Amino acid sequence: MKLKTLSLLMAAGLASFAGHTAVTDAMLANDAKTTGDVLSWGIGTEGQRFSPLKTINTKNVGKLVPAWSFSFGGEKQRGQESQPLVHNGKMFVTGSYSRIYALDVKTGKKLWKYEHRLPEGIMPCCDVINRGAALYDNLVIFATLDAQLVALNQETGEVVWKEKIDDYAAGYSASAAPLIAEGLLLTGVSGGEFGIVGRVEARNPKTGDLVWVRPTVEGHMGYTYDKDGNKKENGISGTRNATWTGDLWKTGGAATWLGGTYDAKTGLAYFGTGNPAPWNSHTRKGDNLFSSATVAIDVKTGQIKWHYQTTPHDGWDFDGVNEFVTFDLNGKRMGAKADRNGFFYVLDATNGKLENAFPFVKKITWAKGIDLKTGRPIENPESRPGDPAAGDGKKGKTVFSAPSFLGGKNQMPMAYSPNTGLFYVPANEWGMDIWNEPIGYKKGAAFLGAGFTIKTVFDDYIGAMRAVDPKTGKIVWEVKNNAPLWGGVLTTAGDLVFWGTPEGYLQAADAKTGKILWKFQTGSGVVAPPVTWEDKGEQYVAVVSGWGGAVPLWGGEVAKKVNFLEQGGSVWVFKLVK
């Protein structure tokens, strides 16, 4: 404890150095409007990924050229899904295998590097990726694959505090960028394929000490913590056994693996929850709350204020973790979510009431639509994988289902432009053969009870960048892509949309028409979201390049189709040529 206190004092001292500005709550609350930095995942806690910058626009984007590039180096390539942060002349960017770098934002020079020492027994489901960090005070904080949180001094890279989230040997891991809201550090957990219990945690970002914990599986107790670390019960999530069979809630999954968003106008943090465990839905009768859903949590109390379940009694691994992006519509504060199950949802951000729901992919077989009165899917019963117990007890009936469990949209965050009123969604068209098998829980072992093969749906494309109108449900324009899209989106007041492709291109399109105006080959597949900022009137765009993630690991026939793609690990920064 003395070492932690000393480190905190050192960090506070460095925060007063000339030229250094500590990151405050006010700065984070204003991140979406300020243009000289990028302080949060989502370019603002609401997650709109919209920049008011327009120095680079539809008329001159064709003149973008590289300013610098930095390689993560070594043999540790794999998937690079990180969103960079920019502050005090530094870029903070995470890499695969739980690494983080501080770079000179003008030159790309490495200032420091921290490489977390990972044990051999880690069990990440979907590659050794990391999606980014959080900034607070003089700290940069990120999560690791062995389920820890590490806070480093922004100036030196020295460890200020380190806290364990949970036991990696039980299947827990962490890869999402933490969220700072109302002076609290909010994080989730990964590991839904191992029968872990999903939750959201709030910590003091300066010390790492717990403030509250909110489980996202119905039946588990929440807790609050005082300044001495003593915990107090804070109510059970939901009602025990109301939507779960027997003791299955104890290993229920519902991992909060993508992290969350926060809206100061509602005072709520929004976290998506993953699949219930196991995948074999015949073992767990009921809706299985709060899995495959969005939960809205009061940041001050840790209580769930409302929830909306996109896939009740999920039998296809349609995790509901996709980001919930808040925005204004017809004088109301709304939230939108492009779910893995193929439907786009528009909800009242204050109470979770469904306002609209419609497909954003072309082929959906598991449901006929969404009942706007009840909010529930109109399920096709024949599209649910068969019960092994109804046959030979070894394997249930195989069904074809679309989308595949990799989703109409997966981890890659969408963007919203208040200028056009459109969401820009990286969508994928694919399906799967899926079947159920008998399964029992064993600590640290995969807890699926299902087999699958991912298949293409159309001959000419898999991925498609789609401009979606949340009012009408119409796809205003689309840009098709041969390989699946797996990287996030940035949109700007310059009427541009930026996104990357597995084939290696970062490209920009007209936000109103979808016309491609510029593209650049980064040397490896892009599976990360771009960012932009300005310095002394000059606008920059950056993206991390490095093919990987879930597709080459789980993609079946699709993985074979894109096995020619090369891995990598680098950051690219662009500016207009003078």
Give the pLDDT of residue 4: 57
Q: The whole model's pTM is what?
A: 0.96
The tokens describing 292, both together, are 């495959």
Tell how strand 50-51 and strand 489-492 pair up.
Answer: parallel
Largest distance between two CA atoms of the chain: 73
Q: How far apart are CA 229 and CA 89, in angstroms?
A: 36
**Among 423, 469, 444, CA closest to 322:** 423
User: From first to last of its 578 residues, what are the pLDDT tens digits of the chain?
Assistant: 444 545 554 444 444 444 579 999 999 999 999 999 999 999 999 999 999 999 999 999 999 999 999 999 876 778 999 999 999 999 999 999 999 999 999 999 999 999 999 998 888 888 999 999 999 999 999 999 999 999 999 999 999 999 999 999 999 999 999 999 999 999 999 999 999 999 999 999 999 999 999 999 999 999 999 999 999 999 999 999 999 989 999 999 999 999 999 999 999 999 999 999 999 999 999 999 999 999 999 999 999 999 999 999 999 999 999 999 999 999 999 999 999 999 999 999 999 999 999 999 999 999 999 999 999 999 999 999 999 998 888 899 999 999 999 999 999 999 999 999 999 999 999 999 999 999 999 998 999 999 999 999 999 999 999 999 999 999 999 999 999 999 999 999 999 999 999 999 999 999 999 999 999 999 999 999 999 999 999 999 999 999 998 888 887 888 888 888 888 899 999 999 98
CA distances from 466 to 360, 379, 471 (A): 8, 25, 15
Q: Is 174 in contact with 158 (CB distance < 8 Å)?
A: no
Helix, strand counts (H, E) of the chain: 4, 40
The tokens describing 548, both together, are 């990987």
Point out the catalytic residue in the list 166, 263, 317, 319: 317
- DSSP, residue by residue, 433-482: EEEE------TTS----EEEEEEES-SS-SEEEEEE-TTT--EEEEEEES
User: What CATH number does residue 333 fall under?
Assistant: 2.140.10.10
Q: How far apart are CA 99 and CA 21, in angstroms?
A: 24
3 state SS of 366: coil
Give the pLDDT of residue 75: 66
Read off the DSSP letter of residue 389: G
Q: How far apart are CA 9 and CA 279, in angstroms?
A: 47
Q: How far is CA 127 from the centre of its chain?
A: 14
Count up the domains in the chain and report the number.
1
Q: Is 308 in contact with 343 (CB distance < 8 Å)?
A: no
Q: Collect contacts of 367-373 with beta carbons under 8 A, ≥24 apart.
A: 367/341, 367/343, 370/343, 370/345
Give the HSE-up count for residue 266: Cα atoms under 13 Å, Cβ half-sphere: 26
Q: Is 377 in contact with 401 (CB distance < 8 Å)?
A: no
Q: Is 395 in contact with 388 (CB distance < 8 Å)?
A: yes
Amino acid identity at 16:
S
**Among 176, 171, 110, 97, CA closest to 141:** 176
3 state SS of 260: strand
Q: Which domain holds residue 511?
A: 2-576
φ/ψ of residue 326, rounded to 5:
-90, 150
Burial 501-512 (b: 16+ CB within 10 A, else e): bbbbbbbbbbbb
Cβ atoms within 10 Å of 566's Cβ, excluding its own: 11
Identify whether 317 is a catalytic site residue. yes
Q: Measure CA of the first residue to CA of the last residue in the chain; give whole Å.
A: 53
Give the pLDDT of residue 76: 72
Q: How far apart are CA 219 and CA 30, in angstroms?
A: 37
| Tokens 């990987």 found at | 548
Give the pLDDT of residue 1: 42
Task: State the virtual CA torsion across 187, 129, 530, 502 in degrees, nearest 10.
Answer: -140
Q: How far apart are CA 100 and CA 420, in angstroms?
A: 35
The tokens describing 322, both together, are 């996709």
Residue 304 burial class via C-beta count within 10 angstroms: exposed 0-12, middle 13-18, buried 19 and up: buried
Q: How far apart are CA 528 and CA 516, in angstroms?
A: 19
